[in-house]
């Protein structure tokens, strides 16, 4: 697209998508480190995740401040307007992803004190999948590719399936040996957090679709109902 007649406006919009990319990169790092800390039971790494989440929060505040200013001073319209609104919403999604990664890291510090659970392998697989989803959706945002975003959106079904099987697995361990309940409950929350992060990725995918096309993704996303199967 050609530049605005007022070039500083184009620069501000670019700056905004740059901020989102930075937030995304940070969230990605937090997530992969939180998973790594859980799987390898690394309390020190987990602690850095807890600390670094503040950076994501600070960036979100910064993005919101910039958008407030941009709306007041530039009154963006059409695609520009959608771009700004999408940035505002994606920043909020990334901030939530950071929080969930922090929560995983906090639990990793507790799991560290306990016996390694047998479910860690499954958790690690699910973590890799969710991480890949986040990476893909961020790439789709950078490239403004709605097809790539739509793929992330449909692939969330896989994340849900992983969550469901982990849920069943952990339930079995807890029934077999009540001493594992405390550890498994933490792992269950970790899995739930990963599943939530997957949902935030689909929200970002929806924002990308709206940004590019001006239309909302309305078809029902395939869902796996965990509760119905147990």
User: Which residue spans within the chain are E strands per DSSP?
Assistant: none
Question: Which one among 82, 125, 128, 192 touches other proteins, defined by CB under 8 A?
Answer: 82
d(CA 46, CA 104): 8
Which range, of 101-109, 137-145, 165-173, 215-223, touches other proteins by CB under 8 A? Answer: 215-223
Strand (E) or helix (H) holding 79: helix 78-111
- The owner of tokens 């096309």 is 213
Nearest by Cα to 16 from 69, 75, 52, 93: 69
Q: Which segments of 41-77 does DSSP mark as H helices, in order? A: 43-74
In angstroms, give the least distance from the CB of 205 to other proteins.
Answer: 15
Among 45, 55, 71, 81, binds other proteins (CB under 8 A): 81
Among 44, 72, 176, 218, binds other proteins (CB under 8 A): 218
Does 220 bind other proteins (CB under 8 A)? Our answer is no
- Three-class secondary structure of residue 115 per DSSP: coil
Q: Say whether residue 72 binds other proteins (CB under 8 A).
A: no
Instruction: Please say which residue, 150 or 181, places its beta carbon nearer to other proteins.
Output: 150
Site of interaction with other proteins (CB under 8 A): 1-6, 9, 75-82, 210, 214-216, 218
């Amino acid at each position: 697209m050609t530049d605005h007649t007022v070039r500083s406006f184009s620069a501000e919009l670019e700056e905004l998508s740059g901020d989102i990319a930075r937030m995304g990169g940070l969230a990605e790092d937090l997530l992969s480190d939180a998973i790594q800390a859980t799987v390898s039971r690394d309390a020190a790494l987990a602690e850095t995740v807890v600390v670094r989440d503040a950076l994501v929060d600070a960036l979100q505040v910064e993005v919101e401040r910039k958008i407030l200013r941009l709306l007041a001073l530039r009154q963006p319209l059409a695609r520009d307007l959608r771009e700004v609104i999408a940035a505002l919403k994606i920043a909020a999604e990334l901030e939530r992803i950071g929080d969930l990664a922090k929560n995983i890291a906090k639990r990793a510090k507790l799991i560290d004190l306990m016996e390694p659970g047998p479910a860690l392998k499954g958790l690690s697989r699910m973590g890799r999948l969710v991480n890949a989803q986040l990476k893909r959706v961020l790439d789709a945002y950078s490239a403004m590719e709605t097809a790539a975003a739509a793929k992330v959106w449909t692939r969330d079904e896989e994340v849900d399936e992983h969550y469901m099987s982990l849920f069943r697995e952990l339930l079995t361990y807890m029934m077999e040996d009540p001493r594992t309940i405390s550890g498994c409950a933490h792992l269950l929350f970790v899995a739930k957090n990963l599943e939530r992060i997957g949902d935030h990725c689909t929200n970002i995918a929806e924002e990308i679709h709206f940004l590019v096309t001006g239309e909302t993704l309305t078809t029902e996303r395939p869902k796996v109902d965990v509760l119905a199967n147990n």
